Amino acid sequence: MTLDGLINKLISAGIEKSEAKKEISILLKELGENNLNKIETIVNERVKSRTPLQYLLGKAYFMDFEVRVDKRVLIPRPETEILVEETIRRMGMPRYVLDIGTGSGIISIALAKSIPNINIVAIDIEKDIINLAYENAKNNKVENKIKFLVCDIFSNNADDLFKENKFDLVISNPPYIQSGKYGPRSIPAQPERKHEPKIALYGTKENKTGMIYYERIVELCLSGSMPATLAFEIDPYLVNDLKSLLKKYDLNNFEIIKDYSGLDRCLFVFL
Ligand code: GLN
């Protein structure tokens, strides 16, 4: 089949034209023109199951580096690049960092790659996830700057982590999608998202809005020795709830940053 034929195959499966073209050019770059059969096999699988291309290739790009991804972790989003860039812009060179819900490890790896002398603790809820994040850090040669731990933020271990460490920066892209649906105000669920881990999108607890994660993290920060800055990726529809949360804890020094679509996407709280 020709390249145009493959693009059309993706389009007739409901994938947008610009996305279809982008995916074929990624496949060409990854597999080479001599591997059209392999490319066609992947396109067929893509059309059949709507498995995201990154899972089919087993890799994704974030900022200027590559990570391994599979169904254990979310596929890196461009919005999270904004979180990292804006954090560095605001904080310069944080020294002690906690990354909550590290997933594939992208936030920690990006910080470790651009900041010398940084010490990061990166946590996630399952050993399986932490193993993948570690592997990605190792492949990017920053594993010596990041300590990976299995830790549930709702457990006492998380309280201990905050008692035993003094972080300058706590950064997180927690699960923030309304449980089980995307809500009337939100964009329609893409079939690709069904392949991503539910705990990374919706969380594991009774999580109607995602707010319980932000609230728990704020509480942890206020209970231990406080970090200077908190950096969150957020759902634009949570802005009012987040503002009320900050008000409740008397945190008046904060900033909200928009993403490329003009939606509120990052929240910085200066403690
Ligand atoms: N931005 C992701 C999405 O819209 C969600 C990421 C998250 O829940 N932390 O699919």
pLDDT digits (tens, 9 = 90+) for 212-230: 999 999 999 999 888 889 9
CB of residue 102 inside a 6 A radius of ligand 1: no
Output the six-digit token pair for 1. 């089949």
Q: Which residues contact 29 (CB under 8 A, 6 or more apart)?
A: none
CB of residue 73 inside a 6 A radius of ligand 1: no
CB of residue 171 inside a 6 A radius of ligand 1: no
pLDDT, tens digit (0-9, with 9 covering 90-100), for 30-54: 999 999 999 999 999 999 999 999 9
Task: Tell which residue, 225, 121, 219, has the closest CA to residue 164.
Answer: 225
Rounded CA separation 94/115 (Å): 8
CA R_g for the chain:
19
Beta strands, E only, the chain: 59-62, 65-68, 96-100, 119-124, 146-150, 169-172, 229-233, 254-258, 264-270
Within 13 Å and on the Cβ side, how many CA atoms surround 92? 1
User: Which residue has the CA at smallest separation from atom 5 of ligand 1?
Assistant: 201
If you average pLDDT over residues 127-147, what whole number do you get?
A: 98
Residue type, 178: Q
DSSP tag of 260: T
CB of residue 176 inside a 6 A radius of ligand 1: yes
Residue type, 198: K
Task: Tell which residue, 228, 232, 230, has the closest CA to residue 265.
Answer: 232
CB of residue 213 inside a 6 A radius of ligand 1: no
DSSP tag of 4: H
pLDDT, tens digit (0-9, with 9 covering 90-100), for 77-95: 999 999 999 999 999 899 9
To test the pocket of ligand 1, the residue of 82, 233, 238 to mutate (highest count of ligand atoms within 8 Å of its CB) is 233
Residue 184 binned pLDDT confidence (cut-offs 50, 70, 90):
very low
CA dist list (Å): 11 to 4, 29, 30: 10, 20, 21
Rounded CA separation 109/53 (Å): 22
If you average pLDDT over residues 221-243, what whole number do you get?
A: 92
pTM comes to 0.94
